[in-house]
Structure 1
Amino acid sequence: MWNPLRIAALGVAVLGCVSSVAAAAAYPERPIRLIIPFSPGGGTDTFGRILAEGMQAELGQPVVAENKPGAGGNIGADLVAKSRPDGYTLLLAQDSLTTVPWLYRALSFDPMKDFEPIGIGVFMPMVLVSTNSLQAGTVKELVAYARSHPNGLSYGSPGVGTAHHLNFEALLDKTGTRMVHVPYKGAAGMNTDLASGNVQVAFTALSTALPMIKGQRIRAIAVAQKERADLLPDVPTMDADVPGYTARVWFGLSAPAGTPVAVLDRLSESLRKVMAREETKKRLVDIGYVVTPTTRDGMRRIMQDEYEKWGRLIKDLGITLEQ
């Protein structure tokens, strides 16, 4: 026999489910906040504002981009993690979410548990660049020189724990070479010293490298993806000399854990529709982005893979951003 209490509990569950579905069907009913956890003007901000504009047209409600910089993106991420899980506060997520748990011991949120992935919108390949005076002009020549001159070259990065730093360390590990790391407080100082020859090599995002390469201030050695970049068709790939090696950053959307699945699905669908628009795609490709949007599950798999990959490297090297 059915227990009256069990029947009542089942009824409450069904009503809750119906209520959730009804709320999701009406979503969105008011403006959506898109938290960009970095300062205006950077790659994260550029993509975030293009995405907000497209999603606003697709969803029929304002999508308001708000910059909340600080602590390497952690301030903005913490704000979203602690927001009501209703789909009205979203995070402009990027690959650094998979590294911060390993770099900060006292992190106030768990990037792998406190967020629901919505989808990755774009990827940005890294470019291996050098000062113009460096004699090694190919990856093979650079690796050969580094092997015969351990710590004889220096590489720059915008700071400890950045994608530029970690991807370069992954390259050194894969090729069995050693170079001196010179961290800067941002990309501007690194690029200035690279152009003047104070550091010899670096990884930089394609969008950042392009004007300097075109202006012949620095030299592109290789693009760190399996296919040549349309914006640098004469520059070879890293894969040609270091098989399987790639280096990239990505940008997407996340929501607070507990957000209704129907709302997440609606946002994921909207993200992919915006990325499929020819005018949006052209704007992004012209900057250097690779527009290959993922599903929610695709983003989750990429985050898990990178979380494990960077965790191993960071622990092996003893990298930390806290004393």
Structure 2
Amino acid sequence: MRRRSLLLGAAALPGLSRMAAAQDLPAGPIRLVVGFAPGGGIDSFARILARRAQDLTGRAFVVDNRPGAGGTIAAAHVARSAPDGTTLLVGENGVIATARAVFASLPYDPERDLAPVSLCVVQSVLCCARPTVATDLPGLIAAARARPGALSYASAGAGNPTHLFAADFARRAGIEAVHVPYRGGSQMVASVLAGETAFGFFSAASALPQVRNGGLAALAVGDEQPAPLLPDVPPAGRVLPGFTFAFWYGINAAGGTPAPLVAALSTTIGTALRHPETRSSLEAQGLKVAATGPSDYAAFAAAETLRWSEVARLAGVTPE
């Protein structure tokens, strides 16, 4: 019993924890592959995670940006990489859960070619409109019903989660609205501000500055409860029961990565995410730490894939 107590106490020491974590990880630098350009929300998340994981383990964690095709270029790169745990995808809804419903010839199979490591964070999403269009969700629905097909909404690309969120909203609300795809969140915000489109679904981080200065009206949040950063914005489900939506980021390794290695990576990532300073930095961006294990992430991704594939089908989104 004394030996066991000593071992348990030693395991809590930072230096020994760092050594143990480093020994369980693969040899060499670990690359976190991001499918979008530097400067965006997912890139910022990846860099926060990389710094903390490196501090905790003493090992090199490097962010590798490979933008293009809605993140699928990065996902395909990781899917083709050696299953040795040194190349990890910082994935999100689009490349994991909705890609098969959008791309007719996807160069990877998310379930077969990407091994779940951890669902890392969930980000609040806001439905926002120009204040002259509506200031709450019932007002937006009324405006759309008064002029069927006259209102348009912005998305970050056809089949992007922002497109599917809006398509699900239109179906549930029984309204007609015109889809206008853009190439990213910043262009979406600019389009609504300029009057090119009437509304859209935006990450809390990208919408908050414009909401606070009055350029955008935050109509609803996709969480089941009000978001801490905007406690006065009601959940969309209060108007349309069951309607929830969010962005999420997860880590995936190449398919075929050995289970013990996946487990070691998941433990390291979870420890980094739960660090108080990391959690505080992420929450300031509207990100809620999940830090799940591989099996929970796999089940979550499967449920998300099923849900949004059905939304895409009902919305008539044709794979291209």
The TM-score, its normalising length taken from structure 1, stands at 0.88
Q: Which residue of 2 aligns with 1:112?
A: 111
Question: Which residues of 2 match residues 83-122 of structure 1 at below 5 A?
Answer: 83-96=81-94, 97-122=96-121
- What whole-Å deviation, never above 9, does each CA across 1:277-316 have from its counterpart, x for those lacking one? 1100111111111222222112111111111122222233
Q: Which residue of 1 aligns with 2:261?
A: 263
Q: Which residue of 1 aligns with 2:64?
A: 66
- How far apart, CA to CA, are the structure 1 residues paired with 2:185 and 2:195? 15
Amino acid at match of 1:104: F
8 Å contact kept, 2:67–2:74:
yes
Q: Which residue of 1 aligns with 2:142?
A: 144
How many pairs align? 298
8 Å contact kept, 1:28–1:61:
no
Q: Which residue of 2 aligns with 1:219?
A: 217
8 Å contact kept, 2:25–2:265:
no
**Which stretch of the first structure deviates more once superposed, 101-110 or 246-255?**
101-110
**Which stretch of the first structure deviates more once superposed, 255-264 or 190-199?**
190-199
The TM-score, its normalising length taken from structure 2, stands at 0.88
- How far apart, CA to CA, are the structure 1 residues paired with 2:64 and 2:302? 27
Amino acid at match of 1:241: V
Amino acid at match of 1:237: P
User: Which ranges in structure 2 are unaligned for 5 or more consecutive residues?
Assistant: 1-21
Aligned with 1:237 (options 218, 235, 242): 235
CA RMSD of aligned residues (A): 1.7
Amino acid at match of 2:108: F
**Which stretch of the first structure deviates more once superposed, 190-199 or 264-273?**
190-199
Q: Which residue of 2 aligns with 1:178?
A: 176
Q: Which residue of 2 aligns with 1:196?
A: 194
Q: Cα offset for 1:68?
A: 1.0
Amino acid at match of 1:166: L
- How far apart, CA to CA, are the structure 2 residues paired with 1:218 and 1:281? 28
- What whole-Å deviation, never above 9, does each CA across 1:137-196 have from its counterpart, x for those lacking one? 221232233334321321111221111111110111122221111222323332223113
- How far apart, CA to CA, are the structure 1 residues paired with 2:109 and 2:93? 14
Amino acid at match of 1:254: N
Give the share of equivalent positions with the same residue, in percent: 35
8 Å contact kept, 2:136–2:218:
no
Aligned with 2:31 (options 27, 30, 33): 33
- How far apart, CA to CA, are the structure 2 residues paired with 1:142 and 1:273? 42
- How far apart, CA to CA, are the structure 1 residues paired with 2:145 and 2:132? 19
- What whole-Å deviation, never above 9, does each CA across 1:33-77 have from its counterpart, x for those lacking one? 111111101111111111111111223310111111111111111
Aligned with 1:306 (options 301, 304, 307): 304
- How far apart, CA to CA, are the structure 2 residues paired with 1:64 and 1:189? 28
Q: Cα offset for 1:25?
A: 5.9
Q: Look at both structures and tell me which one has the larger radius of gyration over its CA atoms.
A: 1
- What whole-Å deviation, never above 9, does each CA across 1:174-225 have from its counterpart, x for those lacking one? 2222111122232333222311333211111100000111111111111111
SS in 2 for 1:112: helix
